[in-house]
Amino acid sequence: MTIIKTKINATLRLFRANHAPELEQEIQRLIDMGTPTTVHENIAERVAFSENKFLLDGVESVAVYEWGRDCDQCEGDSVCIIPANFSTFKKKEHDMYMNAEGPCHMRTISKKDHSEFEASFRDHRAEQYNY
């Protein structure tokens, strides 16, 4: 428990030093309501979100990487750009999980990673049966 609290405090100091003070209340709300591990993950997710923002056609945006595998063992990934609004990101993440047919993951990526990204798709079952 002490190690986790130390990680939270270190992350919090870094976050406070590099990000807008208006997020202080949100950080304190996360600390008040969550377990230490959850708080650390939420703060780290917000830091990553803030660091990956960029301007696209004059609009602050963020690139979002999505990966998933469905119940038929088809696996693919993609990247999309959304407005740089954390609640929009969380809604998109919630919708992905609600529609998931298997394991999936979503995270923000940098503008550079977005520009170099190449989507992939694999049908593991077809490969298994040599289709």
Q: pLDDT, tens digit, for every residue of 24-73?
A: 666 666 666 665 556 667 777 877 888 899 999 999 999 999 999 998 89
Nearest 5°: CA angle at 116, between 112 and 119? 130
d(CA 131, CA 129): 6
Non-local (6+) Cβ contacts of 76 within 8 A are 67, 68, 119, 120, 121, 122
Per-residue pLDDT, 130: 82
Per-residue pLDDT, 113: 95
Would the pTM count as exceeding 0.75?
no
